[in-house]
Amino acid sequence: MRGPIVSVELCEIAKRRGRGFVSTLLAAVCLWAALPVGAQAQSWFWPWDGYEQRRPGYERERRREWERSQRQRRQDQQGQSKAGKSERDAPKVSEGPILAVVSLSSQRINVYGRRGHLAESAVSSGKPGHRTPTGIFSVIQKNRHHESNIYSGAPMPWMQRLTWSGIALHGGVVPRYPASHGCIRMTHEFAARRWDLTRIGARVVVSPYDVEAVGFTHTVLPVPAMTEKPADVVASGQMGPPALEVAATSSATVTGARLDSGALTTTLEGPQRRARAARAAAVAIARAAEAALKPAQALAKKTSVAAAAARTELKRAQRGQDVAEARLVTLTKRKTAKPEAEVAARKIIDAAKARLAEATEKEARASAAATAAVQAAKNTQLKRNTAAAQLQATGSALDPISVFISGKEGRVYLRQGFTPLMDAPITIRDTGQRLGTHLFKAMATSEDGSSVEWLAITVPDTGSEGRTDARRDRHLQRAQEALDRIEISPAVLAEISNRLWAGSSLIVSDHGLNHETGRGTDFVVLTK
């Protein structure tokens, strides 16, 4: 039925507008009908990818990927995700922070944990015209089933956002060459595994070519500030990590330690333990305040109801007395009133006065109790609000800190949980020389919290030739020289040391604060 109808319509158009238009329209219809089904479907489900769509088999590949993502979504919704099951069965879990390094030249991603290199996989970055920016980023949002709000709702499963302007890591087609619109595509299997391992705030480095994260030490890098444990904690024996057993003949002396029966027990605690204790205290206070609020409000309501009832009884007693007195006045005006009636009326008045006095006293007590209970409820509400505010203020107290030293601005910035804490001037010697862009990531904290293990990585502005080992040594030398030129004031260093543990990072760069660094983000440094 479709063919004859179209033919009649085209004939009518031909009569009105001429054969040239009809011929063009027929050619267009025939061309569309001759296209493969994958190409037709792709035009509906996927954004235009320019030259890449001219590659043989591209439409079929993208259509298959779209169908796979939809099937994966349905399986996940039913709790039957094969990727999720295999990951839960045998996950390769990192026991600490994660650092991901993406190389645009080799189209590879390497993931590091506290025990070193964890995994490697192929990626597909932005193609010409949609270049993936290089620099230092962090994961600021995660979404298992994300759809692009820029490219016609294209599926971006296992999405980990790096910038609010549209750059993210996600699962997709990985043809081993730049093919995306700026995002970094990973295979679905690797994207699912990394999505489960990564936390909000995890660092991601995008480099123009292969770079390696290596262990690093330097005197400028801060160390955690150790303080004495509270006396009650020490007395109760809650010393945190197990005591270090030492031989009886050992002559070792340790600052801030206590030797009891051959066991060496530290009396110091690090910033992470202090932060956890402060957070636990804030949680306990907030819970206690929340638990006390409901009974206080219930008591206030109960006493207020009792006071209202007492006031009603008082009014009733007052009206009873008024009626009794009015009746007595009426009797005294009657000349025929009997004396015994007047005596009875006076007795009624006396009884009404007694009830009124009792009701007055009861109302006074009930009103006082209600006033006190209402005020107590208000005070409890205030304490609850204050405790909730304090708890909210400590919401990021357990998050790792980020420090950014900008050679361009000559300042040091500190953030925790995406929240700015401070910024201050900093001294950088030989300002005429470039610092480079370097990331120092604290990957692990010692057992007692007194030190951290650092990984260092240098993000080059452009590509470079030469062996990887030679580049690595040159980058380490540049990172060493950059830290040698930096002087951090004692006040700033103390603020950093009081919040330093595994997961914290320090960035040194010639660049200033990027426009991508804003609310709900960590420091973003774009090198190109």
Clarify whether residues 304 and 412 are in a common domain.
no
Q: Which H or E run contains 161?
A: strand 155-161
How high is the pLDDT of residue 368? 93
d(Cα 110, Cα 121) in Å, to the nearest integer? 7
Domain boundary among 349, 365, 393: 393
| Region label for 417, one of left (φ > 0), alpha (ψ between -120 and 50) or beta (otherwise) | left
How high is the pLDDT of residue 405? 94
Determine the structural domain holding residue 335 and report its residue range.
Answer: 273-393
Q: Give the DSSP letter string of 3-26.
A: HHHHHHHHHHHHHHH-HHHHHHHH
Residue 57, burial from CB neighbour count under 10 angstroms (0-12, 13-18, 19+): exposed
Clarify whether residues 503 and 411 are in a common domain.
yes
Clarify whether residues 389 and 406 are in a common domain.
no
Helix 19-34 / helix 2-17 crossing angle, nearest 10 deg: 150
Clarify whether residues 472 and 518 are in a common domain.
yes
Clarify whether residues 86 and 205 are in a common domain.
yes
Locus of tokens 């043809």: 175
Q: How much is the pTM?
A: 0.66
Clarify whether residues 346 and 463 are in a common domain.
no
Residue 491, burial from CB neighbour count under 10 angstroms (0-12, 13-18, 19+): exposed
User: Is 93 within a domain?
Assistant: yes
Domain boundary among 210, 232, 251: 210
Domain boundary among 341, 371, 393: 393
Clarify whether residues 389 and 407 are in a common domain.
no
User: Is 505 within a domain?
Assistant: yes
Clarify whether residues 520 and 404 are in a common domain.
yes
CATH of the domain at 104: 2.40.440.10
d(Cα 318, Cα 106) in Å, to the nearest integer? 95
Other Cβ atoms within 10 Å of 69 Cβ, number: 20
Q: Which residues pair with 506 in a beta bridge?
A: 403, 440
Number of folded domains that form the chain: 4
User: Is 491 within a domain?
Assistant: yes
How high is the pLDDT of residue 100? 93
- Residue 142 backbone phi and psi in degrees, to 5: -130, 140
User: Is 261 within a domain?
Assistant: no
Q: Is the dihedral of CA 263, 269, 272, 277 positive or negative?
A: positive
Clarify whether residues 348 and 387 are in a common domain.
yes
User: Is 89 within a domain?
Assistant: yes
Q: Give the DSSP letter string of 428-481.
A: ES-TTS----EEEEEEEE-TTSS-EEEEEEE--SS---S-HHHHHHHHHHHHHH
Amino acid code (one letter) for 57:
G
User: Is 379 within a domain?
Assistant: yes
Clarify whether residues 384 and 407 are in a common domain.
no
Clarify whether residues 474 and 389 are in a common domain.
no
d(Cα 381, Cα 368) in Å, to the nearest integer? 20
Clarify whether residues 59 and 141 are in a common domain.
no
Q: Which two three-digit tokens encode residue 7?
A: 């033919």
Q: Is 315 helix (H, G, I), strand (E, B) or coil?
A: helix
Residue ranges of the chain whose pLDDT lies below 50: 1-18, 22, 31, 34-55, 58, 79-93, 234, 238-265, 466-467
Other Cβ atoms within 10 Å of 263 Cβ, number: 13
How high is the pLDDT of residue 395? 78
- Look up residue 499 and give its DSSP letter: T
